[in-house]
Amino acid sequence: MSGFVSLTPKIPVFVRGRVATTITESTEEILMTSQAKLTLMPKTLETADSRAKAVLEKAKAQVGFIPNMYAGMANSPGVLQTYLDGYAAFRTFSGFTPVEQEVVFLTISRENGCDYCTSAHSMIADKMSKVPPDILSALRSGTPIPNAKLAALSTFTSQMFVTRGRPTKADLKAFLKAGFEERQVLEIVLALAVKTLSNYSNHVNAPKLDDAFAAYAWSPKA
């Protein structure tokens, strides 16, 4: 069982041969104390090879600067390219409103315990997507969301995460009853893929939080 992590909440789980009582304990007390960090240097427009430079230039054109997360991901240009394309597709074609998009991204990033992405999306949610403060606070803390439709979206996204894409019939029924469409289940799959690329890259790269997001710094224990 060594190395196996159960994603079912509130039951014993195994992490690298040790038993933890809950998912929260396993993530915060075991993984974070023994987690490996890569020694790869972040890429810049000056140090990147031609393939990585092209992706970084695309990233800079999209957001106006090169976030530290992107600089780390550029060590594998395919990772950053796939992230940028998937992110843009979700933003443009998912059918979710900007507020709903942030609900999805923040729910996934919080579930993954990604401090960088939760911080960055908190800034985007507040300044760009105009997520109401009480909604944003609930998303960051994992407390009940005071909006029925957004709560249903966050709950279903969490279920997709926890069950590895195997929601129950009741889960799907509740999602559709809240006013969403079946095809948007697949859009959540896209968001999960996109955030897996960024969250996991951040776990192993540990990028410094950019000044643009510093006021929204978040950690799993916050």
Mean pLDDT for 144-159 is 98
pLDDT reported for residue 19: 40
Interacting residues of 68 by C-beta distance below 8 A, sequence separation 6+: 42, 116, 207, 208, 209, 210
pLDDT band at 35 (very low <50, low <70, confident <90, very high): confident
pLDDT band at 29 (very low <50, low <70, confident <90, very high): low
Question: DSSP labels for 154-197?
Answer: HHHHHHHHHTTS---HHHHHHHHHTT--THHHHHHHHHHHHHHH
Mean pLDDT for 52-57 is 96
pLDDT reported for residue 32: 60
Among 91, 82, 112, 137, smallest CA distance to 202 is for 112
pLDDT higher than 50, residue 125: yes
Q: Where are the alpha helices (DSSP H) in the chain?
A: 23-25, 32-34, 50-63, 68-73, 77-93, 98-111, 115-127, 133-141, 148-162, 169-177, 183-205
Mean pLDDT for 179-184 is 98
